[in-house]
Structure formats: C-alpha cells, structure tokens
Structure 1
Amino acid sequence: MGEIDKIRDGFLGAVKLAVHRHFLFPTNISSKCRVCSIERLEPTKVLTCNQCEFSLHEDCIEITSPSHHKHPLKLHERIIGYRRRDQCCLCRYKLLDMFYNCSRCMFEVCMACLKRPLLIYKTTSHKHPLSLMPIDSVSFTCDACGSVDNSSYPCTCLQCCFIIHRDCIDLPSVISINRHDHRISHVDILRPEEWICGVCHKIINNQYGAYSCSVCHYAVHSKCAIRDDVWDGKELDGIPEEEGDNKTEDITPFEVIDDKVIKHFSHEHILRFIYQDVLIRDENQRCYACVLPFYYDACYICTHCDFILHETCANLPRTKRHELHKNHFTLYPNPKPGEDLELSKSFFTCVACQRPSNGFRYESGNVKLDVRCATISDEFNHDSHLHSLFILSLFPRECSACDQMVYGSLSCVKLDFFLCFKCATLPKEVFNKNDKHPLYLRYSGYRYGNYWCEICEKPTDPRKWFYSCDKCCSTLHIDCVLGKSPYMRPGHSFLLSSREFQVVSNNHTSRPFCTICSLRCKDAFVLKSKDETDTSCLCSLKCLDSLVMSMQRIKL
C-alpha cells in the first residue's frame, strides 16, 4: 500500500495533506477556499479534491498569525487521528473540523479565533477593551481571581494597568453557592481587613477580585466560588432573589397547636413535648428521623401511636444547603405503613456515610443524605481532633480514624487529618445489653495495651476507635456494639414481590437462621416476613440484596 501511495503522490502533482482525507490536485481554476472562504479572481495556486467539493489555497496551508508570531501555523483536520488537544488555546471551545496548529509549541487555534482581532470588547470583568496576549510563558497575578499561574493567557488593559486571565474575563457577577445562605457578588477589591475563603478556608488577598456577601462578613476566592461542586452554574444578576435562588420558601417543619403540642409535617397526629430525665433502655423506641435510640432528654411523642422524634430532629429545616451537592436539599419522611411500601423507597443509602437507613432523608435529585450527615455542615468540631473540620472538596481521602478511602470527607486546614462521615456521625454514648453502664466512644491513643472485645472476644486495636465502659474497664468493637445496620427502625415494613417484610428486634433466646446465608442472625435486628406461615428470615440488608438478585434471575 505504501508503494501505491508514493506513485499516486506524484501522479499529476497530487499531494496528501493532514487537512483532508483524499488526495488533492493542483489547479489554476478559481474556486472558493474552504479555509478563508474567499474566491480569488487573480491567478492563484489552488489544491482541489476530485472526489468531493473541497478546495483550498496553497498559501492557506501554512500561515503566520499575530496570535502566534514565533512559528508558522499549519492547517489540520481534527477527524484525522489528531488527539493532542480538544480545545482552542484562545477561546477554550472544542475544536471542530479544521484548525491551525504549531507542533513545536502545542498551540492550536480554531478558525473563528484566527479571524478575530486580539482585542476583546465586551466582558463582565472590565469596562475597557482587553488585549489578548497568547503567551504562555508569562507568570502573573490575575486581578480578577488573585491566583498566580500561567494556565490561561493574559488579557491586559493598558489604560488601567489591569491584567486578567482569559478564563476570568466573563466571571458571573452574582451567584449562589452551597456554602452560604445569601447570594454573593464579584467585587474588584475587598475591604482592608483579614478575609478567609468560605470554601477552601485559606486567606484571601484583599487587593484582588473575589466574591463577597453584602449581608454578612463572608468572602470566597473567585476560583473557589465557581467550582463545579460549589456553584450550580446560574448567573443571578438582574434576577429577583425569590425567583433566582434554588430553594423553596422557608417553611417551618411544624405548626404549634398549644403549649408543648405541635403538628409535624411528617405525621398525621399531633405530637406532645416531654422531657425524659429517667433512662429508658429500649432499643425499639427509636426516633423516626435519625433512627437513633431514645434513652432520655427532650422529645416529641405521639399519643395515638409509637411515633417519636428527638426535639432536635423535630426542628430540622424542610430545605437546606449542603457542601456535598450544589443544589438545595428537601427533607422527606419515610413512607408510612399502608402507603408506598416499595423496597426501593423503604430504604436508602446515604451518599455521605454509605450506610443504609429507613429514617428521614434529605434529597436533591438522586443524592440522598440521612439527617445525621446532613447536620454536619460549615464548621464542624469533633472530640477526636483539636481543630475545626470543614468539607473542602469531594476528592478521595483516607480517613484518619478507620483508614478507609472515601469521597467527601471532613478536613483540617492546619494538620493532615481527615474524617469520614461514617466515623463523624458515630454516637458518642450508647447502651448495650452486655453492660448495664453507658458505653462511650473512645479515640485512637485512649488506651494502650492488650484488650479484648467483650462481645466477640477478639482483640481490640488501641490505635482504632472503640467503645468502652469506664466502670467495668471493658472495651468493645464499634461494629459489635452497633451491628451491621445500626440505623434500622424496628417495626418498619416493606414489600418484596407482594410479600411484606418487617424489621424486628433479634432479642430472643435462640438466634434464627438466615434464609440466604444459612448462618445464625447475630445482629440486633432481622428482617422477617409478616406472614405467619412464611418462616423467611434475613440477617442483613446484604442478604436482602442477594434475595432480590436471585428473584430477578428466576424471572429472567
């Protein structure tokens, strides 16, 4: 094939260029150039294709341009095996069809930018025209974002001694981010005082552009504010606040009926406030929202059924923002008995802690948070660490407590410390049937020596977190105390192929055998069929998933 190409390359002066898939033949016949879109009347050397309507001037194959004065630019066609870069160096848009390239500098420019002057007239960042300088070797501080890098070409205004990244010339003026309740606006300079970025929590240079709040003392780096995981991409300049913000009207979660009596949006009956100062050790009495046991303290209870809410859970807002998603979340209760008992709607997995739950959830699209993780926002303090923790990014980090790699963790800006949501939401005080005293969560380094778990009788690692009883000097693994699915509420029902299952306490003398794994159910809760003639029993949601998959295979 190579020999044939060589013969054809010389036939009638045919040439093969990277700009076109077919051979091109020289001609003096005037025709419209595919590159410059001009049909010259004077004699001009033209290359044309005999198989398709493609023509171009010979002097359009290689040109010199003010946008790249160092070397000549050669014409390329993107569809012919070119994968170096997919965007124009000037406008940052995707390269389409033909473009010019400098192989020495890795510089590519689209046809549209090649025809434009290197002068940008209308921008949101500056009142004067800006001159684009396509020089990537210049390091400078951008007046709009305050960062020092050469990742984007500089644009300058000689009248104002103003310099800005090409990528920053059209920064949005007014936006709403998931780190702050108010709108923030881009300003050229901040007030002369210390400012800490509300996203990365690093110092902001007040001499450069940033986003600030007009209502309170809050500011964000320009680049941090427009991150994909922070901003929803909507420009709110000129849009009324009640229309432009991605949130619903602020609705209170309950209506006050009388003194210490409320009507909560999640329940059909009225709830009465009580303060329980006597310890109740009933694992079945759990808050319908957070699904944690109710031992003592303030709560709202229903006088008609077993519905109960912690006082803090009853006051959870109907809508809220959170750092794990750029859109607002809405609070949803779990389906009530007799309503929608579909398995997919009865349980959900929290995107933060990756634990299944059947309690209340905050939902935004396909993203679901349990109420425990949703309350961790902004500045968070945990007893295991000296400094405040923040959700800085969604990049994977290794949790300093459990050594698991997780996406979206709590970070310390001073030390190399990360905490996953699963560890951050562990209850600090729990009760267990193996000990009559309260068990407290202990952190790494609390004790050193050889210890054994009182439940599984296996060694406990003092470098890991664990529960302990100070009076009995006992230590217990976290998983042994909480179980595989600690956030399951007893009494909750769901349907599986017209069969109704229920979460029940596994507190009998004899442990049942799991229908799927054939092992004894050791967890605090099991899933049992409500049909008395059906003896099916599942030890965990993992076995439930296995049952669902086997049923799907049978249908196929």
Structure 2
Amino acid sequence: MDPLKIENAANITVCRLRHDFDQKEDFRSEHFKDSPVLVLYPLDERKVLRSTHTSSSHPLVWCNNGENKDKYCKRESRCRVCSYLLDDDIGYYFLREDLGQKERIFFHKECIEPITNNPYHRKHPLQVLVSDYLKLNTICYCCCRRKELNFYCSICNFCICANCEAKPPLLTIDHKKRHEHMLSYFPREASITCNVCALDERRYFLYICHQCDFVVHKECIYSPCIIKISRHQHRLSFASSFLPRKWFCGVCRKKVDENYGGYSCVKGCYYVSHSRCALHKDVWDGKELEEEPDEIYKDILPFKEIAGGIIQHFSHKHQMRLHKYIDKKIEDNKHCQACALPVYNCDIFSCMECEFILHTVCANLSLQKEHVIHPHALFLQVGHMFSCSACQRQSNSFTYMCLMTNCNFRLDVICASTSEPLNHHFHPHLLFLPSDFGSTRICSICKVRSQTRFDCGKCDFVLCFYCATIPMKFRYKHDEHLLTFSYEQDASSEHWCDVCERKIYLKNGIYMCSECDITLHIQCLLGKEMYMLPGKEMIIYGGEEKDILRSNRLTRYICKKCNKRCQNGIVYKNSDETICCSMECLYQMFSSYIFNKRSITL
C-alpha cells in the first residue's frame, strides 16, 4: 500500500488575505465546508497587502509509517495542534510539498478531527484553525484574546481558542458584584448593547439576566470596581449609571450615555470615562484597588538642604549653591545637566567644586512622577543614555524611567513636564492626547507621522511631542536677542535661513528675531542632538565606549563615516580617535565594523 495517500475529505485551505480575521465576509466560504483544518498562512506578505482576498485549496498528505518521515519532515517536527513530536508509529498529515519544506505544517490525525456539540456552539462542528501570521491571529469569543490555535465555524463566524474549548463551560455565572441575579449564557450572535461597556460587540459572549433587563459581555462581567488611570489624578469607581446630564469621557472626549455603566471619580470631581476607555492597557495598569488603601502621594524632594541656598542633590556628589546667572554669552556653553538646555538669565544651582549646573526647576524635580501617556509610575534616574519614548530624541541627561519588568518606557524631563490638555501659545484651541489608541497622524509642523501626539478637538491640527516640547525662546550666537519660535498654519510667506541659506516657511515653524530680521530652521538652530551633553562617555551596543565632545574649534572636525565637515554642536570620538558627526554616522560605522569583523572570523 502506498504510504502516501491523499484523502478526499482532508483538504486544507490556505488563505491570502488583506484584512484582519474580524472581516466576516472573507471567511464564510464554501472552501471551508469539507475541510477539517483551516490554515491562515500568507505566503507573500507584499501580495497580501496589495491584493484582495483570494483562496486556493491544497490537500493534506497522509503518511502512515516512519519510513518516509525523514523524507517529508525535519527532525523534531511537531504537530501544530498539540505541539507534541511526530511519532514514527503514529500517522500524520502534512501540507502538500509544493509549499516548500519551510512552510510545511504537520498534524496528528486525531488532533484535526472536527469538534461537535461544543456547549458554546452546538449548531455546527468546529474546525481547527491555525494562524502563522501575527496580524491574522484570531480573537477568541470567550476570553477575548488573540491566539494562534483556535476552533472555528465558518458558517457562523464563531471562534474559540483551544484553552477555552478545553475548560468546563460557564453557561451560568453568579457574580454579585456585577449583578444581583444569576446570569445565563445567550447562545445566539446578536447586536445587543452591554450594560457595562455600552457597546454591541457581536464577537463577545453574551450573558443575560432572566429576571431583569440586564445584558453583559463575558469580558465585562469581571471588570474591576476601583481603578487608577493615568489620565486622572484620583481613583475611579464603576457606576452602573449616571445622573441625567451631558457627560463626556475624559479619555476619548466622546459622549457618555448615562443609562449604561462607566467609571467616575471617587472624589466627586465630575470626571467620568467609558468602561473600555478606562480599562485600555495604555491608560490602566491592570490593578484592582477595591481592597487596597488609597496611596498618599508625597512629593519627595531630590535634595537635602544644608544651609541657606546650599543643597546636596542626589545626582551629584558635591554641594551646590543657589545664585542668579546673569552672563548672556552663549560661548560659555553652560547647560543644565537635567534637561540639557542652555543656561542663561535664570536662577540655577551651581556646584561649588566643578561645573555641574541645574536649573532651579530641574533641581526640584520630583523623584517619582505619574504621566498621562503611561499607566505606571515613573522614577527619576541619572547617568543613562536613552531614547525618549515620547519625542524619540536621544539624550544622556536625566530621565523618568518605568521600573516595571519588561517595560522600557522612558521620558526626558521636558516631555515629562507636559500635561493634558495642552494649551500651546501658537494654537487657539486646547490639545488632547489621541482617543484612538495606536493610530498615527502627521504632525502639522514637522510633517512626521507620530503615534504619541496631541490632537485638536476642534480642527485638524496635530502636534507631536517633539514639536510640542521645543524651546519657545533660544539664543543664537550671532544675535544679541533671543530668537522666538513662530508658526502660522495658513501662512504662505517664505524666508531664508541664515545658517543653511535655504528657503524657510512660517507654516513649517521657524525661529526668528523681529528686531534683527534673522530667521533659522529649527534644526539649524537646535541641532540634531541638542539633548546630548558633551563631556560624558556613552556606551553603545557591544560595550564600545564613545566620548562626546563639543565641536567648538576654529576648524571643524571631519566625520570618518560621511567624510563631511561636522555641522553639529557636538561630535563623537571613537577609541581610535576617529570622529563621527552624528549618532546616525556613529551607528552606521559601528555596524560596518561588526559586519567586517564577523566576516573575517568566518
């Protein structure tokens, strides 16, 4: 008997699709009716994104002994359903070999048999559904999570993951904190508004109360009672309804229906939020605070006062004295070690033994901070090179860092000082954080697409964190006055930059001095890496140490990578005394060095 037998009933459908699995029309196909296994497996991602939904059938190949195992599968090949190794004594299916060895998928025969009489879906049998692409991962109707392995009904578009299918069914739920009566599973897909989240999501399990008019998603039954979100300073408690008035969500700023559930401030400051908005992962830290005592936030000062005007700051080993900085010369190159901005015409704390300087505002930065764009507490750290998670600028000054495991969120002190709503001086309306989480829009000033940004609630104005935190006034070494940042969205006038001698437009934002008729591009004045402090060492990937130098010589350095004169205010010196003009050139040269080193080793 031929060990390879193609069974007519064992067909596998490989779908190339552009849309997500939630698009129902893509999956109610006759191709799925006789197939025990459905595999979402885009062979060419570029074609997936360009083309519309297409499908083709590929049969499963049966192998019933171990003689041909090495021919058709690799060693330690595993069943995609149960993840166990293929046994020589047990037959298995695999995808037809025209898809190639790398794309081949294996299944035990018993693992791909359709499931009948599932308590959650008794109408039709459920087929095994396997997804090999993250964007195509399906959402389980029971746990509302994306999984790789699911059971699916193509007729009803019903999906349940393997873990939920194996658990005992929860056909009734008794949860007094959410509802006083017993809740029963509603086995039909219907557009019914949930009393907790005020949404009519079809893809979630519904539970209803037979004694009163109460409907709830399974995901919403166990939603927390007391939470703390990043968008509000007080705790929020769940309310089944609100007093009749015009309520607006503090997160998405859309109307809140007072007849459905939501979260409101426990202090009574008229702050409310939709349930889904308040429980979003970018806003809520995932902690239930019902039985937790309310934390009393204490603003811990980062320094110890020694005497009148003399302090011992936690970031510096020497004592610092408070005095008025009067000298206006930009050539002095005095920079605050916390924010990396120049120091002129402001009160500062200056070290009594070295050149360490802090603005008085920066010297009083709190050691712990809560910010609107991150759900966890942030702690002030010193001595790290980092990339700001909000504006993406490289810096080696002070940073607010999240200390949660596997969370690399960091903010420089300038971005950490922003709040919502943002009242920017050159825009007439208040600016808010985006209500559509994960979306990107193009900044109205720098024309760069950004996810972390501020949106105007009344017009199409968008402001990224980079443009929202640039200094409003900055000194130019060839002008005795401070240059002021100016921007007009509908301005058509054009100027000439005094540094690069190229055209500059007011609608793109410029620095200008009205008295001296000087105009400069933002980058020409501030530089590419204005938050990098000279005089420090930095360590890049591989443990290589680089020195940061100020480019203030009469003859500019020549970059080792691009072979051009260094135009920035700082340069980077390698261990072999070579110079790079920017972080981009530095990483390119280091990557080339690593590649050549590995090639020689091989």
Report what 2:345 is aligned to.
Answer: 296
Report what 1:420 is aligned to.
Answer: 464
> What is the root-mean-square deviation of aligned Cα atoms in Å?
4.0
Aligned partners of 1:282 and 1:295 also within 8 Å:
no
- Letter of the structure 1 residue corresponding to residue 375 of structure 2: K
Q: Say if 2:394 is the partner of 1:356.
A: yes
Q: Say if 2:427 is the partner of 1:377.
A: no
Out of 542, 545, 549, the position equivalent to 1:504 is: 549
Aligned partners of 2:395 and 2:532 also within 8 Å:
yes
Q: 1:67 to 1:527 in 2, by over 3 A?
A: closer
Q: 1:78 to 1:517 in 2, by over 3 A?
A: closer
- Letter of the structure 2 residue corresponding to residue 516 of structure 1: K
Aligned partners of 1:174 and 1:235 also within 8 Å:
yes
Report what 1:32 is aligned to.
Answer: none
Q: Say if 2:225 is the partner of 1:179.
A: no
Q: CA deviation at 1:5?
A: 5.5
Q: CA deviation at 1:500?
A: 6.5
Q: Say if 2:36 is the partner of 1:18.
A: yes
Secondary structure in 1 aligned to 2:377? strand
Q: 1:135 to 1:544 in 2, by over 3 A?
A: same
For the residues of structure 2 that align with 1:386 and 1:469, how far apart are their CA atoms? 23
Secondary structure in 1 aligned to 2:370? strand
For the residues of structure 2 that align with 1:180 and 1:97, how far apart are their CA atoms? 38
- Letter of the structure 2 residue corresponding to residue 380 of structure 1: L
| Cα shift readout 1:200-235 (whole Å, capped 9, x = no counterpart) | 233323332112221351322110111121122222
| Cα shift readout 1:497-529 (whole Å, capped 9, x = no counterpart) | 998754333233222222332211122222347
Q: Say if 2:263 is the partner of 1:211.
A: yes
| Cα shift readout 1:9-64 (whole Å, capped 9, x = no counterpart) | 9xxxxxx98389989xxxxxxxxxxxxxxxxxxxxxxxxxx9799999x9x9765x
Q: CA deviation at 1:4?
A: 6.4
- Letter of the structure 1 residue corresponding to residue 283 of structure 2: V
Q: Say if 2:301 is the partner of 1:252.
A: yes
Q: 1:147 to 1:413 in 2, by over 3 A?
A: farther
| Cα shift readout 1:237-285 (whole Å, capped 9, x = no counterpart) | 323445xx9xx97532222222222222111122222233563434510
Out of 285, 298, 306, the position equivalent to 1:232 is: 285
Q: CA deviation at 1:430?
A: 0.9
For the residues of structure 1 that align with 2:497 and 2:479, how far apart are their CA atoms? 12
For the residues of structure 1 that align with 2:561 and 2:110, how far apart are their CA atoms? 71
For the residues of structure 1 that align with 2:334 and 2:533, how far apart are their CA atoms? 8
- Letter of the structure 2 residue corresponding to residue 126 of structure 1: H
For the residues of structure 2 that align with 1:197 and 1:273, how far apart are their CA atoms? 44
Q: 1:356 to 1:154 in 2, by over 3 A?
A: same
Could you tell me the percent identity over the aligned residues? Answer: 35
| Cα shift readout 1:65-109 (whole Å, capped 9, x = no counterpart) | 88668xx3125345699x99845534546789895x644222346
Q: CA deviation at 1:190?
A: 3.2
- Letter of the structure 2 residue corresponding to residue 292 of structure 1: L
Q: CA deviation at 1:404?
A: 0.6
Q: CA deviation at 1:133?
A: 2.0
For the residues of structure 2 that align with 1:106 and 1:488, how far apart are their CA atoms? 54
For the residues of structure 1 that align with 2:496 and 2:232, how far apart are their CA atoms? 46
Q: CA deviation at 1:400?
A: 1.2
Q: Say if 2:157 is the partner of 1:106.
A: yes
Aligned partners of 1:511 and 1:521 also within 8 Å:
yes
Q: Structure 1: any 5+ residue segments left out of the alignment?
A: 10-15, 24-49, 335-344
Report what 2:249 is aligned to.
Answer: 197
- Letter of the structure 2 residue corresponding to residue 178 of structure 1: S
Q: CA deviation at 1:8?
A: 11
Secondary structure in 2 aligned to 1:313? helix
- Letter of the structure 1 residue corresponding to residue 261 of structure 2: G
For the residues of structure 2 that align with 1:467 and 1:538, how far apart are their CA atoms? 27
Deviates more, 1:105-114 or 1:518-527: 105-114
Secondary structure in 2 aligned to 1:74? coil
**Structural mapping, 1:435-514, within 5 Å:** 435-445=479-489, 448-494=492-538, 501-514=546-559
Aligned partners of 1:21 and 1:80 also within 8 Å:
no
- Letter of the structure 2 residue corresponding to residue 371 of structure 1: V
Q: CA deviation at 1:435?
A: 2.3
Report what 1:33 is aligned to.
Answer: none
Aligned partners of 1:67 and 1:133 also within 8 Å:
no
- Letter of the structure 1 residue corresponding to residue 531 of structure 2: Y
| Cα shift readout 1:319-376 (whole Å, capped 9, x = no counterpart) | 1122333322111112xxxxxxxxxx4x322121111112111112322211111111
Aligned partners of 1:90 and 1:113 also within 8 Å:
no
- Letter of the structure 2 residue corresponding to residue 508 of structure 1: R
**Structural mapping, 1:301-320, within 5 Å:** 301-320=350-369
Question: How many residues are treated as equivalent by the alignment?
Answer: 501
Q: Structure 2: any 5+ residue segments left out of the alignment?
A: 11-33, 38-59, 64-89, 93-107
Report what 1:276 is aligned to.
Answer: 325
For the residues of structure 2 that align with 1:439 and 1:93, how far apart are their CA atoms? 52
Deviates more, 1:420-429 or 1:268-277: 268-277
For the residues of structure 2 that align with 1:373 and 1:359, how far apart are their CA atoms? 13
Report what 1:549 is aligned to.
Answer: 591
For the residues of structure 1 that align with 2:189 and 2:389, how far apart are their CA atoms? 41
| Cα shift readout 1:130-186 (whole Å, capped 9, x = no counterpart) | 12223333343x221233554534432243322223321111122222223333221
For the residues of structure 2 that align with 1:8 and 1:285, how far apart are their CA atoms? 78
For the residues of structure 1 that align with 2:564 and 2:148, how far apart are their CA atoms? 61
Q: 1:329 to 1:516 in 2, by over 3 A?
A: same
Report what 1:285 is aligned to.
Answer: 334
Aligned partners of 2:433 and 2:454 also within 8 Å:
yes
Q: CA deviation at 1:429?
A: 0.7
Out of 50, 64, 73, the position equivalent to 2:124 is: 73
For the residues of structure 1 that align with 2:397 and 2:8, how far apart are their CA atoms? 76
Secondary structure in 2 aligned to 1:544? helix
Aligned partners of 2:496 and 2:520 also within 8 Å:
yes
- Letter of the structure 2 residue corresponding to residue 215 of structure 1: K
**TM-score, scaled to structure 1:** 0.78
| Cα shift readout 1:260-318 (whole Å, capped 9, x = no counterpart) | 22222111122222233563434510000110001112222212111111121112111
Report what 2:57 is aligned to.
Answer: none
